[in-house]
Amino acid sequence: DAKTTQPPSMDCAEGRAANLPCNHSTISGNEYVYWYRQIHSQGPQYIIHGLKNNETNEMASLIITEDRKSSTLILPHATLRDTAVYYCIVRLNTGTASKLTFGTGTRLQVTL
């Protein structure tokens, strides 16, 4: 699986959009970009994933650059409950179970 690079930490004011970047310059054509988050002392929570098109769900939007070497997770209106570590993971989506390799992630602190 391709390696990802994320900033170690970010701050965001409550109510503002949080834009979390991820670099995955060695991504291959059939690898997807996945985002998970982990709130303190809890298990990770799936957020969103995509291959090359931008994706949106009730939690967030995922913007993938045209060359697919980087992506941005957008939380449109961050709240205090969005404070967590956000992990960007690149992996194949083969329809069978495959392990997830977690990097160090970005610690997002949402403040009043």
Partner 1 sequence: GAVVSQHPSRVICKSGTSVKIECRSLDFQATTMFWYRQFPKQSLMLMATSNEGSKATYEQGVEKDKFLINHASLTLSTLTVTSAHPEDSSFYICSAWTSGHNEQFFGPGTRLTVL
Residue span 69-108 as binding mask against partner 1, x where in contact by CB under 8 A, dash where not? ------------------x-----x-xxx-xxxxxxx---
Does residue 8 belong to the site contacting partner 1 (CB under 8 A)? Answer: no
Interaction between residue 1 and partner 1 (CB under 8 A)? no
What the block records as the tokens of 45 is 């929570």
Quick one: 70 or 106, whose CB is closer to partner 1?
106
The beta strand positions in 1-112, using DSSP E, are 9-13, 18-23, 31-38, 45-50, 55-56, 61-64, 70-75, 84-92, 106-111
> Of the two residues 29 and 43, which places its CB atom closer to partner 1 in the complex?
43
Give start and end residues of each alpha helix (H) in 1-112.
none
4 vs 105: CA distance, rounded Å:
9
5: contact with partner 1 by CB under 8 A = no
7 binds partner 1 (CB under 8 A): no
Identify the CA nearest to 19 among candidates 10, 27, 28.
Answer: 10
Positions touching partner 1 (CB under 8 A) are 38, 41-46, 87, 93, 95-97, 99-105
